[in-house]
Chain A
């Protein structure tokens, strides 16, 4: 069985930051492997270790700078990586769900995996929609917000748990091939070993342009336009206790006594 994992490098933001136009100013941004995708990579690698998957391939839409993040996934055990980038993607403010779907769909068509794993959402734009949209595009089945996957995948069926709201889980059987969007907590993502990091440098990282995968440049023209970005207004009228730890702890202690919840 072949598993394709979508991997995104997301922007991380410092506690204090400034906004320039519709972007956070560069100096306040970092980059990291999307948290949810980390769990998806781990799940795929565990399926490989369990003898279910023969090959784990990652796919990323991103510029050359994100190769370090892709290498993280390779260091954790993915076999090879595909990275899609194109001049047409430079300077695109917001790559919408349809654009991502079309690009990833083309890669899925070329790779023909039995199972696609994606993170539930990306930590930066938080659309949470690409996995299911991709499934519909490629005519596969799907499951969103999966927090448990049985690894036997018997008879071409994935038995999963979907994490619903309010502490309820749904047990679902999904026909393969399928796209599963992976929720955090499904496993414990590993740290890359030094050996893994060394090996990752030698693994194949294939770069594709839109034309290579048969996607027209017009696909990246987002129908959704980001027009404004601002810090949310605080609704707070919080009382902040100041002073040393002993002093602030004493304030909190007094509050708890006043409320009658501590003696």
Chain B
């Protein structure tokens, strides 16, 4: 029980970035346990994926050629069978929407503890020390567990593995019980669409929970108009139906990289930050000086948006 098994993520024919990041996370653990890093790539064009994943630090890649896209029953069965075959100490998966759709089932099936959404991992070979956040990112915690575990890793926390590896690539003959497959993916849809593509905007005036109610949204729209900017938002605004889905910035919305991103009344949950941290200049307007958005902002105004926004609008009108 010294090896590490890391399962990769792909969608619609493309490996997702976290698949390269999980190699880095897995290699660190495998070095400490003194074992090998095994990758699993399940469904899709597995041979092409395996070639791409054969990067420095990978010892073996196991391909499971079954179906085109993610199906949680197939992933659960293939991963548990690989665990039985390889007996690794740790099973790593991405903490993606799909990762969370099968990793807990794998842990339960194998009767292993699971620790999710980790942002740091260490081990001395026996004890795993996992860093994760609680209370919406207000605190970080360290968590320890002994022995084998299933661990999911947050995306963009580890560097992507580079270089070319010399891993063995082998087809793994998983016995998929088709009768146990109880869900079918029937398609994918891009959400939002609509008239505006916020990922193309040079300046985004982005609004969050701090706006308090729908009737206040025009305040932001007036500012955007005065600046010739585009209005975007964090998740709660879209959840409330105050703006359409195509305006949502974040992990489940759009990734944006404008010249200037003005975050108004946005606290900066990690899912939101994932969508806008590549902005050239970030300005935060927020009453809470300790809000996580302040950690990535270049400029900040710690004040009531209901005072600052009208003043700024007036300046440009």
Contact = CB atoms under 8 A, between A and B. Distances in A.
A170 B185 contact: yes
Interface in B238-259: 238-241, 245-246, 248, 251-255, 259
A132 B97 contact: no
B303 A245 contact: yes
B182 A255 contact: no
Interface string B82-120: 000000000000011110111111011101011111000
A227 B143 contact: yes
A256 interface: yes
Instruction: Give the size range of B's interface with the partner.
Output: 35 or more
A262 B228 contact: yes
Contact of A126 (B108, B134, B307): B134
B187 A132 contact: no
A171 B300 contact: no
B133 A126 contact: yes
A246 B314 CA distance: 10
Given A127-B116, A174-B183, A164 B11 contact: yes
Interface in A128-143: 128-133, 135-137, 141-143
6 contacts: A17-B138, A162-B101, A164-B252, A241-B301, A252-B301, A261-B227
Interface in B272-292: 281, 283-284, 288-291
B260 A256 contact: yes
Interface stretch (B45-53, B169-177, B189-197): B189-197
Contact of A185 (B235, B296, B307): B235
A230 B120 CA distance: 14
A144 B262 CA distance: 32
Contact of B113 (A19, A96, A135, A251): A96
Given A259-B260, A259-B281, A173 B294 contact: no
B97 A142 contact: no
A132 B185 CA distance: 17
A238 interface: yes
A97 B107 contact: yes
Given A130-B104, A170-B185, A97 B114 contact: yes
A124 B260 contact: no
Contacts of B11: 164, 168
B109 A136 contact: yes
Given A165-B96, A165-B251, A169-B188, A252 B182 contact: no
B147 to A, nearest CB: 8
A235 B140 CA distance: 14
Nearest to B253: A167
Interface in A240-263: 240-241, 245-246, 248-253, 255-256, 259, 261-263
